[in-house]
Amino acid sequence: MKRNTLLLSLGPLLRKKEWFVYYLLVVMTLIFSALLHDSGFFSSANFINIMRQTAPVMVMALGLSFALSVRHIDVSIGAVVALSAVVCGLLLREVHMIFAILGALSVGLFAGVINGLLIEYLKTSSLLVTLGTMSIMIGIARSISGLESIPITNEHFIMLFGSELFMGIPTSLYWVAILALVAWLIVHCLTLGRHLLAVGKSPENALQLTISPVKVRMLALVMCSLFAAFAGLLYAARMQSARYALGEFDLLNVFIAVAIGSTQLVGNQMRVIGVICGALLIGLLNNGLILLGFTINTQLIVKGLVLVMVITLVHKELNNAK
Amino acid sequence: MLHVLRGLFYTGFCIVLVVMLVVFNRVNAQVSMPVINTEKSRLAEGTQTAALAWHSSSPWTDAVTRGALDTFERFDIDVIAITDAQYDPVKQLADLESINALRPSFVLSLSVDSVSTASGYRQLLEAGTKLVLLSNPILSIQEHKHFAGLISVNTQAMGRSAAQLIDRAVVHTGNVGVIFHEADYYVTNQRDKAFLDALKTYQDITVVAKKGFVQEQDTSAVTMAMLLKQPNIDAIYVSWEKAAEGVIEALRMMGRDNVKVVSHDLGVSTLLDMAQGGNMYAVVSDRPYDVGTAMAMRAINSQRGITNPLLKPIEYDLVTKDNLEAVWPLAFRSNLPRALQCVLSHKEVCE
């Protein structure tokens, strides 16, 4: 009888599709902990490692969620990461750290505005426009870096954004927490958040509510690029260098993180904690599979299988909900 | 109730998935190389362990890995992880941090970027792991007491040999196009520079075009542009064999079967072209299996306190169609791939 009551009380929790990412995170942690009980997986040092490695992907995924919430796809975020890191690295040699940080964030701001103008005022596809701006920014990053890594030796910068520990936690994670809080506040407490979701749900209805869908979508693209530029700062400090290829390989992981963390990829929703957990799951998988001795090919297969499994489940739930 | 069952089903699915992949991974590993012991790490008492953190995957890297694994096996050292950074320094840094959690006794690695990945290597050294690097030096860690050494192929001699092969390809007189690796990557940069320096000593050979590339897939377009501008090119030098595939593809498309290609390293596709009398004229190849052996021995000797071991320098070969069959086993310690055997034995249909 007691058991039945427990199952009945668990039922509504398990039924929530948006909780799936948390179940998966717990299940994966338990599986890896069991399989890797003698190899240091279940240690605070390793968990800090995972969080540290995933921090820039978390920030990029949060930014991408803004763009996706208004049904825009921004594939230029990897290039924004590279260009902002390179700009920061070059400026750190010449000017005070504050100006270098502002310079890097300006890259994000500028990229977001350009993407927004081209998409909204020329009425072109966000995917195609951001493919173009991605190419331009990669070219600029390669050109100004001379295809070399730019060493970063500014200790204050490394301490502020990098992997230095503050009260036992890497500083980069404090930034993730701050940015997640900012994103959460925007979505849940500010009018902008409601506008984002309204425009994502139906631009026509939004117009009736006297919201300008164009402005809202542009703001979403600017937020997306700004978050990517911030990820560039985190990468530059973590790697203690800026390289033209930073972020280039992250696009797949970022999209997977958002897909796993959200119950629907585009429009009408933005789940901050879910996206963070989605990114964390990717980091956990990468780490656990390496420790298990898996080859890179098998790692890719596992990541793909997890994504397919999650998408299948979510789609099923959505179909059921209809 | 249905949802509880569904939740349990997916949890079960995850467990089965991981178990299946563990089995798949081990079977896969047994096919290509000796079994990686994932159960043991230095955390287990008294066990010596090693990990290999590579820059990429290729037949060349596989041969280095085999050399290292065979050597470690002889000394009863378990290899607990092999990673592939796919030329991404961010991934390599994450790989090194993950490997560090296993606390291996030895790490053998080829760094993607000596600046960006330095902190990952430093962490390993601080944890007491003996580190041996291949080809790309990292100056900031070389003084560390646990840094066991750098194994390097002779890039200067290999560059000079490539110039010698170009001289043979154009029969001492002709125009040459150079497609060099433009990204900052120590070993290829050194080889390309040595080649260009050596080529200056051949007075009747002129470099008429020089173009850089960053990614291997760019070389096809670079070759086409180069030949449109300079149709009088007799031979092309390109930094390594995978990049040479794009050059050969472009030459085939343009119908330029009179242009000869010289490069570095052994790869099946380019060697097939060479064996069939195509554009690929010759390559300079080091011996990757020996490289792996030398790296593992350097690590083991360092552990034993032997700081200046008498290791043979890594040899290299000048490979043409005539000696290809003999050089492959020397380089890879494996049989010549079947496709190459078929072409070289002139069998129309190879069963």
- Give B38→chain A minimum CA distance, Å: 6
**Same structural domain, B133 and B74:** yes
Higher pLDDT residue, B215 or A203?
A: B215
The answer to which of A70-74, A161-165, B9-13, B164-168 has the lowest mean pLDDT is B9-13
**Same structural domain, B265 and B225:** yes
ipTM exceeding the 0.90 mark: no
A240 chain-B contacts, CB cut-off 8 A? 115-116, 118-119
B23 domain-assigned: no
The fraction of chain B above a pLDDT of 90, given in percent, is: 58
**Same structural domain, B70 and B172:** no
Please identify among residues 101-160 of chain B the ones whose CB lies closer than 8 Å to any CB of chain A. Answer: 101-103, 113-119
Asked if B18 reaches chain A (Cβ–Cβ under 8 Å), the answer is yes
Residue B93, pLDDT score: 92
Residue A149, pLDDT score: 86
Residue A319, pLDDT score: 47
Res. B25: pLDDT tops 80: no
Residue B192, pLDDT score: 96
Candidate ranges A161-170, A281-290, B105-114, B310-319; pick with highest mean pLDDT: B105-114
Number of domains in chain B: 2
Residue A322, pLDDT score: 38
Q: What is the CATH number of domain A21-30+42-313?
A: 1.10.3470
Residue B39, pLDDT score: 42
Beta carbons of A302 and B184 less than 8 Å apart: no
Residue B319, pLDDT score: 95
CATH of the domain at B250: 3.40.50.2300
Asked if B277 reaches chain A (Cβ–Cβ under 8 Å), the answer is no
**Same structural domain, B220 and B334:** yes
Please report, for chain A, the start and end positions of each structural domain, with discontinuous segments joined by +: 21-30+42-313
Size of interface A-B (CB pairs under 8 A): 148
Q: Which residue ranges in chain A fall short of pLDDT 50?
A: 1, 317-319, 321-322
Q: Which residues contact A119 (CB under 8 A, 6 or more apart)?
A: A72, A125, A126, A129, A217, A221
A309 chain-B contacts, CB cut-off 8 A? 10, 13-14
B187 domain-assigned: yes
The pLDDT tens digits of the residues spanning B46-84 come to 579 999 999 988 888 989 999 999 999 999 999 988 998
Token pair 């975020």: residue: A77
The pLDDT tens digits of the residues spanning A12-64 come to 555 566 677 888 888 888 888 888 877 778 888 888 888 888 999 999 999 99
**Same structural domain, B172 and B273:** yes
Please tell me which residue of chain A has the smallest CA distance to B24: A298
Residue B31, pLDDT score: 37
**Facing A290 at nearest CB: one of B37, B90, B98:** B98
3-state secondary structure chain B: CHHHHHHHHHHHHHHHHHHHHHHHHHHHHHHHCCCCCCCCCCCCCCCCEEEEEECCCCHHHHHHHHHHHHHHHHCCCEEEEEEECCCCHHHHHHHHHHHHHCCCCEEEECCCCCCCCHHHHHHHHHCCCEEEEECCCCHHHCCCCCEEEEECCCHHHHHHHHHHHHHHHCCCCEEEEEEEECCCCHHHHHHHHHHHHHHCCCCCEEEEEEEEECCHHHHHHHHHHHHHHCCCCCEEEECCHHHHHHHHHHHHHCCCCCCEEEEECCCHHHHHHHHCCCCEEEEEEECHHHHHHHHHHHHHHHHCCCCCCCCCCCCEEEECCCCHHHHHHHHHCCCCCHHHHHHHCCCCCCC
The answer to which of A96-100, B9-13, B311-315 has the lowest mean pLDDT is B9-13
B228 domain-assigned: yes
Residue A97, pLDDT score: 94
The pLDDT tens digits of the residues spanning B224-236 come to 999 998 999 999 9
Residue B312, pLDDT score: 65
Asked if B20 reaches chain A (Cβ–Cβ under 8 Å), the answer is no
Asked if B28 reaches chain A (Cβ–Cβ under 8 Å), the answer is yes
Res. B37: pLDDT tops 50: no
**Same structural domain, B195 and B328:** yes
**Same structural domain, B199 and B335:** yes
Beta carbons of B1 and A7 less than 8 Å apart: yes
A142 chain-B contacts, CB cut-off 8 A? 214
B18 chain-A contacts, CB cut-off 8 A? 31, 35, 302
Residue A119, pLDDT score: 94
Beta carbons of B3 and A240 less than 8 Å apart: no
**Same structural domain, B83 and B223:** no
Please tell me which residue of chain B has the smallest CA distance to A164: B119
The answer to which of A246-260, B197-211, B249-263 has the lowest mean pLDDT is A246-260
- Give B323's pLDDT tier (boundaries 50, 70, 90): very high
Domain containing B53 equals 33-151+289-303
Residue B133, pLDDT score: 94
A39 chain-B contacts, CB cut-off 8 A? 38, 41, 43, 80, 101-102
**Same structural domain, B281 and B181:** yes
Beta carbons of B101 and A28 less than 8 Å apart: no
Res. B40: pLDDT tops 60: no
